[in-house]
Amino acid sequence: MSPALDVVTLSRLQFGLTAMYHFLFVPLTLGLAILLVVMESVYVMTGRVIWRQMTQFWGTLFGINFALGVATGITMEFQFGMNWAYYSHYVGDIFGTPLAIEGLMAFFLEASFIGLFFFGWDRLSKIGHLIVTCLVALGSNLSALWILIANAWMQYPVGARFNPDTMRMEVANFKAVLFNPVAQDKFVHTVSAGYVTGSIFVAAISAYYLLRERHMEIAKRSMAVAASFGLASALSVVVLGDESGYTAGANQKMKIAAIEAMWETEKAPASFTLFGIPNETTHHTDYALRMPWVLGLIATRSLSGQLPGIIPLVNDAKARVESGLTAYKALQRIRRDGTDEAARDALAANGRNLGYALLLKRQRADIENATPDEIAKAAWTTVPAVLPLFWSFRVMVGLGFFFIGLFAVTFYFVSVRKIERIRPLLWVILCALPLPWIAAELGWFVSEVGRQPWVIEGVLPTFLAVSSLSAANVVTTLIGFVLFYSTLLAVDLYLMVKTVRHGPGPLPPHAAAPARVLPVAAE
């Protein structure tokens, strides 16, 4: 392993770790914010104090999570400039815009109103406070939207063009960046996953109270809200995840082929490999258990649409490397003589493949002299790690279906008002607490590792995006981040557990008794 690779690997590890830490907090913020709106809306509509108390209790947990989530998110923004300086220059014109809007619009909205949420209970009217809670939820969801617009552009870089004079990608069509189909799919899929996380969190803590027979009235109502909202969210997350996969199938064919360990193009409609052990040396999936037609129907939504396999896609990549070399040579000429119109025409014609030629930089500096073997080798680097992608995706999807079943059963028992008596189910709900986080982290793993070797799909290889830091620098900060973030996580868990153990406190007299017959969720 060369020293350069060390820095790349370490920088990736550092960003991956900080991002995964950050995403421990984000989905819970997204989910709890909406659940707070639901609970407070019931309070405003019914006037029942118990719903206000519920909102305040879950709001406290939301606040702990929010504060630590912000702390872990800030460092990521700085990493772009510090560890990924070439990336920041090369695509900062596009990538920086949604990040700036996220900070100025969504985060400021969320951060401004969160204070009013906590301290405004006795200073604002009921409706006024509900509006504040809605704005906090809106801010957190808008924040996710802008971040995912930025991330989606890394997956599917639309609305931008390379400027050989500034040596960077520049915005050509901001509307295309904004309405990137990948962004839309990623946004709805990610926020739905957040809603599932929030629902499991509320359901698991409510299950804990029901098992311990503490705070029964609040726990039953919280369970009702979590089960109904969670069921809708779990169904959404699977449907929208399918849509996200469909979009990726159109724009990131190699990622889909790797996730499915589909080495060769199958006759349409392709089969889905339920189980198997992809062998990246022999290019074969051992012990494969296949379901005929399923993948073709899911990924192309037709009986005739073909999904290309990894090996044919590698062959396509070879042609793109060769075309990219033409663009590369044209770029060299433009940099020597900016008035060379023939070179500009050649770059315009082959520019979409420039990134593929840059993959050769891993092997030699003077890539214009690359041999056919080196071109073939570069083409094979476009295949991401198949085995971890294959299994991460399957575990994530399996968990998604498990959540649907869990919420459906819970919703049934909540509806027939027997949930507190089904103790095995309560134990399952409690034990399911970490699962949405595992699913969400695996989802990001599939998304980001599946994009490799690109930091911007087809445009900029990851190894060219990293700053010229020393390995020692990156190792030092990596250790610092791990220590700092572990401390934050320990503080988060300590505060959460302390708050849950303390519970929402005693109910005011007659707060729990229904004044009239109400639906179970509003009772």
Partner 1 sequence: MILMPLMRLPRTQLGRELLIAVTVKLTIIGLAALFLFGPHQRPQIDAHKVEMRIIGNSTAPDEAPSHQE
Catalog residues that contact partner 1 under the rule CB under 8 A.
Answer: 2-4, 6-8, 78, 81-82, 85-86, 88-90, 165-168, 328, 331-332, 335, 358, 361-362, 364-366, 463-464, 466-471, 473
Q: In angstroms, what is the minimal distance from the CB of 73 to partner 1? A: 15
Cβ nearer to partner 1, comparing 428 with 469 = 469
Cβ nearer to partner 1, comparing 4 with 45 = 4
Read off the amino acid at residue 107.
F
Give SS3 for 180. coil
For every residue of 196-265, DSSP letters joined together read HHHHHHHHHHHHHHHHHT-SHHHHHHHHHHHHHHHHHHHHHHHHHHHHHHHHHHHH-HHHHHHHTT--SP
Cβ nearer to partner 1, comparing 81 with 503 = 81
Instruction: Tell me the residue ranges of DSSP E strands in 63-192.
Output: 160-163, 168-171
- Token pair of 290, please? 């296949």
Q: In angstroms, what is the minimal distance from the CB of 473 to partner 1? A: 7
Cβ nearer to partner 1, comparing 89 with 283 = 89
Cβ nearer to partner 1, comparing 64 with 367 = 367
Q: In angstroms, what is the minimal distance from the CB of 433 to partner 1? A: 33
Query: Alpha helices of 416-514 — where are they, by DSSP H?
Result: 423-431, 435-449, 471-502
Cβ nearer to partner 1, comparing 238 with 359 = 359
Cβ nearer to partner 1, comparing 341 with 366 = 366
Q: In angstroms, what is the minimal distance from the CB of 470 to partner 1? A: 6
Q: In angstroms, what is the minimal distance from the CB of 398 to partner 1? A: 40
- Whole-angstrom distance, CA of residue 382 vs CA of residue 318: 10
Burial class (CB in 10 A: 0-12, 13-18, 19+), 378: buried
Three-state SS string over 47-60 comes to: CCHHHHHHHHHHHH
Q: In angstroms, what is the minimal distance from the CB of 376 to partner 1? A: 19
Q: In angstroms, what is the minimal distance from the CB of 471 to partner 1? A: 7
Three-state SS string over 386-402 comes to: HHHHHHHHHHHHHHHHH
- Whole-angstrom distance, CA of residue 369 vs CA of residue 375: 10
